[in-house]
Amino acid sequence: MSEPVHLDESVHGDKPLLQVRGLTKEFQVGSVFSRRRVRAVGAVDFDLPKGRITALVGESGSGKSTIARCLIRLEQPTAGSVLLDGEDILRTERRRASRAYRRKVQMVFQDPFGSLNPVHRIEHFLTRALVLHGRPATRETLRELMETVGLTEDMLDSYPHELSGGQRQRVAIARALAVEPELILADEPTSMLDVSVRVGILNLMRRLRDERGISMLYITHDLGSARYLADTTLVMFAGELVEGGDSLAVMDAPAHPYTRLLLSAVPDPERAGGYDPVERARLREAVLHPTDCPYDDGSCSAETPVRHVVGEDAGQPHWVRCHLYAPAPDIAHRVLKTADTPDPEAENTPV
Ligand SMILES: Nc1ncnc2c1ncn2[C@@H]1O[C@H](COP(=O)(O)OP(=O)(O)OP(=O)(O)O)[C@@H](O)[C@H]1O
């Protein structure tokens, strides 16, 4: 089957909340005399369904954060469209996100230390978010917000430095919840936290999906946590989406050599033999210098990247991009150089 695989109605039968089409971001780098363009994100298409968690996984430098920053309007995309409830927000939110947009879409950043100004008490962050979005900042609302994220009312009087990293990230989530958003973009929300508190944040995100129907884009380099948390997983490599589908299907039967390469670095107690450098070298070669695509049914052309559907699981297609479309060698090498050894930071959520 040929690109694009339109997920619109097929994922869990609902119209998606957000539809991203052809999203492209190029940066100008270098000095005046050696200026060049770096393509961080290359024409990606994906949907975020309502009330579901979608994980965007890939290594450092693959373009995950750039996508989130384009969606929250901190970055101006070079091309593409982003439809929220059918409206292209790149046209309606031309330079930066309006308050009305931020009421629907909130972001939680990786660094809970940096996102809370140390001079204010916790109460200030929540009150400000409520007031800015026209909601009453009563003591009752503040207490409810704190309890929703597993914190106690008395912590409203604390300063950020008096809380642990995990507690601070819960405050950042409470601040996002204050505006009752439909979508939360969570960019590596647990990667700066101790392993012991990460699962608590993942469980909180899961509860917000189940109890409040909040949609989420969960950005991570950790496939174990994506498998644990997300309904859908999208795999990103060097600015391109290479595979996507139901998280269990993608993790249990990865179809793209890059996904297999990522998975081979995740500690898995059930995998006999563990880390296999020979197999990883083979996969790395298949990613960088593809020679054939086992899914090619004749629909590929020399110019157009093709998505092949390799299965259907939990009501959504499992697709893989044609193996023959390797990203530009310089970008591919830059991203892959970090993939040579198993990730010591990988969480203890086995795949
Ligand atoms: N402001 C910028 N100027 C120039 N290049 C940039 C800029 N922001 C990102 N890039 C480049 O775009 C590419 C994608 O970066 P991005 O931060 O989106 O990746 P990532 O997958 O989120 O990685 P990480 O997890 O390390 O943030 C990288 O090569 C990065 O160097």
- In the predicted model, what is the mean pLDDT of residues 45-73? 95
- The one-letter amino acid at 319: W
Residue 261 sits at the vertex; the CA angle it makes with 190 and 11, to the nearest 5 degrees, is 65
Domain-located, residue 195: yes
- Please count the structural domains in the chain: 1
Domain-located, residue 103: yes
What is the per-residue pLDDT for 302? 62
- The neighbour count for residue 171, using CB atoms within 10 Å, is 24
Write phi, then psi, for 7 (nearest 5 degrees).
-90, -5
| Maximum Cα–Cα distance across the chain | 64
Q: Tell me: the pLDDT tens digits for 124-169?
A: 999 999 999 888 899 999 999 999 999 999 999 999 999 999 999 9
Residue nearest ligand 1's atom 8 by CA: 66
How is residue 314 written in tokens?
């939990």
What is the per-residue pLDDT for 6? 46
Domain-located, residue 3: no
Is the pLDDT reported for residue 350 higher than 50? no
Task: Say how many Å lie between the CA of residue 220 and the centre of ligand 1.
Answer: 14
Q: How confident is the model at residue 338 (pLDDT cuts 50, 70, 90)?
A: low
* Weakest mean pLDDT among 66-75, 97-106, 211-220, 232-241: 97-106
What is the average pLDDT score of the chain? Answer: 86
What is the per-residue pLDDT for 334? 74
Is the pLDDT reported for residue 341 higher than 70? no
Domain span including residue 70:
18-339
Residue 268 sits at the vertex; the CA angle it makes with 235 and 349, to the nearest 5 degrees, is 70
Task: Say how many Å lie between the CA of residue 40 and the centre of ligand 1.
Answer: 6
Residue nearest ligand 1's atom 18 by CA: 63
Q: Tell me: the pLDDT tens digits for 246-286?
A: 999 999 999 999 999 999 887 766 665 566 788 888 888 88
What is the per-residue pLDDT for 344? 46
Domain-located, residue 2: no
What is the per-residue pLDDT for 258? 93
Q: Tell me: the pLDDT tens digits for 165-204?
A: 999 999 999 999 999 999 999 999 998 888 888 999 999 9
Q: Is the shortest distance between the CB of 233 and ligand 1 below 6 Å?
A: no
Quick one: which H or E segment has residue 28?
strand 18-29
What is the per-residue pLDDT for 266? 78
Could you tell which of 27, 57, 240 is best to mutate to test the pocket of ligand 1, judged by most ligand atoms within 8 Å of the CB? 27
Rounded to two decimals, the pTM is 0.89
* Weakest mean pLDDT among 24-33, 53-62, 159-168, 242-251: 24-33
Domain-located, residue 256: yes
Distance CA 60, CA 237 (A): 10
| Cα dihedral 320, 321, 323, 326 in deg (nearest 10) | -140
Distance CA 345, CA 221 (A): 10
Distance CA 190, CA 202 (A): 8
Q: Is the shortest distance between the CB of 60 and ligand 1 below 6 Å?
A: yes
Is the pLDDT reported for residue 205 higher than 80? yes
Say if CB 266 and CB 223 are below 8 A apart: yes
- The neighbour count for residue 285, using CB atoms within 10 Å, is 12
How is residue 312 written in tokens?
């259907």
Q: Is the shortest distance between the CB of 80 and ligand 1 below 6 Å?
A: no
* Weakest mean pLDDT among 6-10, 185-189, 211-215, 307-311: 6-10
CATH number reported for the structural domain that contains residue 293 in this entry: 3.40.50.300
How is residue 140 written in tokens?
């009752």
Distance CA 55, CA 58 (A): 10
Distance CA 128, CA 132 (A): 6
Q: Which atom of ligand 1 is nearest to the CA of 67?
A: 18
Q: How confident is the model at residue 336 (pLDDT cuts 50, 70, 90)?
A: confident
Say if CB 103 and CB 133 are below 8 A apart: yes
* Weakest mean pLDDT among 2-6, 120-124, 324-328: 2-6
Is the pLDDT reported for residue 47 higher than 60? yes
ipTM of the complex: 0.95
Domain-located, residue 90: yes
Bridge partners, 57 (sequence order): 220, 235
Domain-located, residue 101: yes
Q: Is the shortest distance between the CB of 38 and ligand 1 below 6 Å?
A: yes
Domain-located, residue 114: yes
